[in-house]
Amino acid sequence: MSITTSYGGGTYAPKPKPFAWSYSKLKNFEVCPKRHYNVDVIKAFKDEEGEALQWGNAVHKALANRCGKGRVPLPHPMAGYEKWAERVTSPGKTIPVPTILVEQQLAIDENFAPTKWFANDAKRAGMGEPWYRGIADVLKIKDKGALAIDWKTGKVIDDAPQLALLAACIFAHYPDVERVRSEFIWLKEDASTRQDFDRDQMADIWKGLWPRIEALKLAHETLNYPAKPGFLCRRYCPVTTCPHHGEE
């Protein structure tokens, strides 16, 4: 038997999956819970990749090939990003002979311990359920230091919590690392923003994020995803049954 609620505008399974989240889902929930439910939770709408998303995916793939073991040259349309790839892959003064990894999927469980990306893999490995997931587009590690890079193809925004969460995942998976520099590289703007984190800072960072995480978890447990009018209503929301759809 299914349960239907007016909040999300959809049909729910009697027993929801264990609560798990990512920073993008948290942000989507805070913009509009109803849209988040339909798009991220029950996936009622097939992803339609616009030109910007297609370009972003192509850039991430090309940079992964460029910074990975093969060091595949960037295609001509992305040649302007070579300086960033060279900066990331070349030895530095602080990390002279680093281990360089690309597209690292890093999951932690609800006790902030490292775990597998997929629940079945975690279960087979005797680890906790994945609770938070983050991806490092490039991860450089040397001794007790790490550099995490997140390629961005959109406009520059201030998103310090995402930098902190990526650092938290790295600390969990690499117990010898004591300091992480987490960095966004804004390719379109030819700029970067970064923040440094020490392992002993993580408790305060989690404390600051906890009310936001609890709000998302409560919606998951109560199936309460009310509509919230905002800037996406006019052109960027596929939930046509929402009373705010098409509003300015």
State the average pLDDT over residues 172-182: 97
- Say if residues 105 and 135 touch (Cβ distance below 8 Å): yes
In whole angstroms, give the CA distance from residue 66 to residue 86: 9
- Please say if the pLDDT value at position 8 is more than 70: no
- Say if residues 110 and 128 touch (Cβ distance below 8 Å): yes
| Model confidence pLDDT, tens digit, residues 106-124 | 999 999 999 999 999 999 9
Give the pair of three-digit tokens for residue 6: 């007016």
pTM: 0.88
Phi, psi of 53 (to 5 degrees): -70, -40
- How, if at all, do strands 132-142 and 21-22 pair? parallel
Of 1-5, 26-30, 217-221, the range with the lowest mean pLDDT is 1-5
State the average pLDDT over residues 132-152: 95
- Say if residues 142 and 99 touch (Cβ distance below 8 Å): yes
In whole angstroms, give the CA distance from residue 156 to residue 153: 9
Of 48-52, 59-63, 97-101, the range with the lowest mean pLDDT is 48-52
- Say if residues 7 and 225 touch (Cβ distance below 8 Å): yes
Domain ranges of the chain: 71-206
